[in-house]
Chains A and B, each alone.
Chain A
Amino acid sequence: MIKINGKAAPEAKGNTLGQYLDENGYNKTRIAVEVNGSILSKKEYDSYIINDEDIIEIVNFVGGG
């Protein structure tokens, strides 16, 4: 079962991570994406194909400090 931010996301299977991020309105300059425990490089977003069993966390940063 694919999990994205803690929720089951079977519909994401076979999509690239880049497609998923676009379709779900993420601004790619403000996020870090962890796939199965490690941060995926931005360069790999468009080539990474979401697999069954992937656990993905998308951290969306907001401004302020």
Chain B
Amino acid sequence: MTNNEFINALIMRHGSDIYHKLINSKVAVAGLGGLGSNVALALARAGIGELFIVDFDRVDITNLNRQQYDISDIGKAKTVALANKIRAVNPIIKIKRKKIKITESNAVELFKDHSIVCECFDKAESKAMLINTLLTSPEDFTVVSASGMAGFDTGNTIQSRKINDRLYICGDMVSGIENGMGLMAPRVGICAMHQANTVLRLLLCDLN
């Protein structure tokens, strides 16, 4: 397959206008677990021009139940393993990756060139930290976050909510791992697809 064949296939599926909007867009994904690995791959398939993927962790056997890694990835940095997966479905995408723990002190500097950041962490404290840090900074971030996707209750309660022009939260807002519920591929995947779809809507529609 040539790059031109790939581009023509995207244009055939999405139309030229959408193809051009997406190929000229970039999105950052913070955390490459069950949410982030799914969000990044969905955006890559949609034809986003550039992804910035960030995670400090390595692939572990306990990730296979819901994250887009396979057995051969165990032990690899998630940034490296996911970049390979992304390139396997989209040969023209530009990928920037950083293996680093995202903190209050480095988040703004790390993401300042990205107006859309997907918050894909697993700990509630990390989620709150990233949103509080990015959305009280002078930079113009829009954050697509996620909260509440544990267990196997109906997937119909997982929604995309607009909190304000700069903050969207996907999930059911209540089903956390604190309640003893495990994380499973379907609900985590539904939530991640809500995030990816919200990103597409931000890039393609005027939501404000």
Contact = CB atoms under 8 A, between A and B. Distances in A.
A65 B31 contact: yes
Contacts of A40: 136
B110 to A, nearest CB: 18
Interface in A7-65: 29-32, 34, 37-42, 57, 59-65
Contacts, number: 89
B120 A62 contact: no
A34 B163 contact: yes
Contact of A59 (B129, B163, B177, B178): B163
Contacts of B164: 34, 37-39
B124 A30 contact: yes
B176 A65 contact: no
A39 B131 contact: yes
Nearest to A30: B124
A37 B165 CA distance: 8
The contact size tier of chain A is: 10 to 19
Contacts of A30: 124-125, 127-128
Contacts of B165: 37
Contact of A62 (B35, B166, B167, B176): B176
A62 B149 CA distance: 9
Given A29-B125, A34-B164, A37-B164, A62 B177 contact: yes
B136 A41 contact: yes
A59 B169 CA distance: 9
B49 interface: no
Nearest to B136: A41
B183 A39 contact: no
A46 B196 CA distance: 36
Interface of A: 29-32, 34, 37-42, 57, 59-65
Given A60-B173, A65-B34, 13 more contacts: A29-B124, A38-B164, A39-B166, A41-B136, A61-B125, A61-B145, A61-B147, A62-B173, A62-B175, A62-B179, A63-B124, A64-B188, A65-B33
The 9 closest A-B pairs by CB, nearest first: A62-B176, A65-B122, A39-B135, A61-B124, A41-B136, A30-B124, A63-B177, A61-B127, A64-B150
